Structure 1
Amino acid sequence: MPDQTQPDQVQPNAAQQSPGSVAGRLAVVRGRIAAAADAAGRGPDEVRLLVATKTQTADAVLEALAAGVDLIGENRVQELVAKAPAVADRVADGTLAVHMIGHLQRNKINQVLATATGLETLDSLDLARAISDRCVRDDRTGSQALDVMVQVNVTGEESKSGVGPDAAAELAAAVAALPGLRLTGFMTIGARLADTSERGVRAGFARLRAVRDEVLASGAPGTGTATELSMGMTGDLELAIAEGATIVRVGTAVFGPRAAP
């Protein structure tokens, strides 16, 4: 069949792929992910890109979606709620997943349940029980259950949320047994490369992988779906992928430096 591309269709596409555009930066990030996966002997389809949209406008988020993004994450509940109308159609038709990737307070559970498809920062049984109760109340069980990950603090830093690695398996088993919740894996915020060596960063990621493997091997009810490892960001995604990350959370490499909060 002859090429039916019209001349006026070529220029917009080229602009979208310019190095300074969201689409252009996404292409670079995807290239990094593919190269890191190949270096680790893994396929690029084994690592999913979560685009972190903290401080970004709804228009910027829509630009990322137009470039093929199908998973976004919000750190703040107020931003999650504010941007929800712009992406509601994509969430409703199942072509976009929205994860809460920041700390969640109990008084904001209802807002998250109304807008997010997943929560990556579950770090206590009390919070898990409160979310479970709301899900049951809203008949959000079975196939409608909320996808959750247990956040693990692999660095021991007091400034970071998350359960300690030694307590993570016990918490995960308890979470997996609660109605309305589907345990999909584990999340961590690694050590900063500015504060430690690449070996130190990788050790933290390896610790999370060990937690995941321990939970999967336990055979505890509801833990068989806990395969995800959400770890690695703009500066260390290659190290995370080398240690088994299945989701990397990238914001600045996609949108450029964040504006002041």
Structure 2
Amino acid sequence: MPTDSPSPAPAGSPVSPAPSGSTIAERLAVVRARIAAAAGAAGRDPGEVRLLVATKTQPAEAVLEALAAGVDLIGENRVQELVAKAPAVAGRVADGALEVHMIGHLQRNKINQVLATATGLETLDSPELARAISDRCVRDERTLDVLVQVNVSGEESKSGVTPEDAAGLATAVAALPGLRLRGFMTIGARVEDSGEQGVRAGFARLRAIRDGVLASGAPGTAAATELSMGMTNDLELAIAEGATIVRVGTAIFGPRPTPPR
């Protein structure tokens, strides 16, 4: 895909909650239309942008409803939910019809659980975690697609390597056996806190990191083209800055249920 800066696209304001009577398939159609419109406004092919459906807190029945509507990429934030929903989607994963990404922070003591159920990891953020996953992949004779998570906003509440250290980590990851470096991921700042220009600047920085790694020609980095960035409220901004994966949950499933006290 092109690595130069895309043309600006108008940012859509946060979408209103879907009517209570709308189905997951109808909400998916709305999100796909938003993606297509944002890509078109940026002069990009909508086919360059994949929709990852974030299934955090959603029951298996809702996930299966989304899959029936054509979803082929889902993401889980929590290892326990990833494992709990694995039996419901195992057949589609085995057939190659579905990718399952871990999109939450991963502790080293849960690597085996993730490797047993996920096809990709978007939150690789340290050399120690990379080496531990590499060792398990080599032992299991498999290869895992990984994205390096970068904290472009500098917020302490967000995980990820610093932008200054991102290229070095990516190059090191690319050289490890059992790992296939596919690109970079970030959780952007909130529009309410940083404004549209601030959010776009963070996404643009991730794109620049990706482009620099690709241009370096370092071994194992040629496939590192992915930019996983943008969610329900800022996907237009992310697509304008080159996102190849947008992670959307709320606009598809509605607000997450409040956990019991």
TM over 0.5: yes
Q: Is the partner of 2:129 in helix, strand or coil?
A: helix
The residue type paired with residue 59 of structure 2 is T
Over the aligned positions, Cα root-mean-square deviation in angstroms equals 0.8
How far does the alpha carbon of each residue in 1:92-125 deviate from its partner, in whole angstroms, 9 at most, with x for none?
Answer: 0000000000000000000000000000000000
Tell me, in whole angstroms, the C-alpha distance in 1 between the residues paired with 2:29 and 2:88.
23
The residue type paired with residue 113 of structure 1 is L
Shift of 1:260: 1.9
How far does the alpha carbon of each residue in 1:213-246 deviate from its partner, in whole angstroms, 9 at most, with x for none?
Answer: 0000000000000000000000000000000000
Q: Is the partner of 1:98 in helix, strand or coil?
A: strand
Shift of 1:139: 1.0
> Is 1:33–1:238's contact at 8 Å kept on the other side of the alignment?
yes
- Alignment partner, residue 237 of structure 1: 235
Shift of 1:19: 6.4
- Alignment partner, residue 145 of structure 2: 147
- Alignment partner, residue 92 of structure 2: 90
Tell me, in whole angstroms, the C-alpha distance in 1 between the residues paired with 2:83 and 2:27.
26
Match of 2:67 among 65, 68, 75: 65
Consecutive unaligned residues in structure 1, runs of 5 or more: 1-17
Match of 2:34 among 28, 32, 35: 32
The residue type paired with residue 199 of structure 1 is Q
Q: Is the partner of 2:230 in helix, strand or coil?
A: coil
Q: Is the partner of 2:74 in helix, strand or coil?
A: strand
> Is 1:190–1:205's contact at 8 Å kept on the other side of the alignment?
yes
Q: Is the partner of 1:195 in helix, strand or coil?
A: helix
Q: Which structure has the bigger radius of gyration?
A: 1
Count of equivalent residues: 240
- Alignment partner, residue 206 of structure 2: 208
Tell me, in whole angstroms, the C-alpha distance in 2 between the residues paired with 1:88 and 1:116.
10
The residue type paired with residue 170 of structure 2 is A
Tell me, in whole angstroms, the C-alpha distance in 1 between the residues paired with 2:178 and 2:21.
43
Tell me, in whole angstroms, the C-alpha distance in 2 between the residues paired with 1:148 and 1:226.
9
> Is 1:19–1:25's contact at 8 Å kept on the other side of the alignment?
no
TM-score normalised according to structure 2 size: 0.91
The residue type paired with residue 218 of structure 1 is S
Q: Is the partner of 1:167 in helix, strand or coil?
A: helix
Match of 1:108 among 107, 110, 122: 110
> Is 1:125–1:174's contact at 8 Å kept on the other side of the alignment?
yes
Tell me, in whole angstroms, the C-alpha distance in 1 between the residues paired with 2:209 and 2:80.
32
Tell me, in whole angstroms, the C-alpha distance in 1 between the residues paired with 2:190 and 2:258.
20
Tell me, in whole angstroms, the C-alpha distance in 2 between the residues paired with 1:49 and 1:36.
13
How far does the alpha carbon of each residue in 1:172-216 deviate from its partner, in whole angstroms, 9 at most, with x for none?
Answer: 000000000000000000000111110000000000000000000
Consecutive unaligned residues in structure 2, runs of 5 or more: 1-19
Tell me, in whole angstroms, the C-alpha distance in 2 between the residues paired with 1:205 and 1:225.
19
* Identical positions, percent: 84
Tell me, in whole angstroms, the C-alpha distance in 1 between the residues paired with 2:155 and 2:48.
29
- Alignment partner, residue 11 of structure 1: none
2:156 equivalent to 1:158: yes
The residue type paired with residue 41 of structure 1 is G
Tell me, in whole angstroms, the C-alpha distance in 2 between the residues paired with 1:19 and 1:237.
24
How far does the alpha carbon of each residue in 1:56-97 deviate from its partner, in whole angstroms, 9 at most, with x for none?
Answer: 000000000000000000000000000000000000000000
Match of 1:21 among 7, 20, 23: 23
The residue type paired with residue 223 of structure 1 is T
- Alignment partner, residue 182 of structure 1: 180
Check 1:113–1:43 CA distance in 2 against 1; reply closer, same or farther (3 A cut): same
The residue type paired with residue 59 of structure 1 is E
The residue type paired with residue 118 of structure 2 is A
Tell me, in whole angstroms, the C-alpha distance in 1 between the residues paired with 2:115 and 2:145.
11
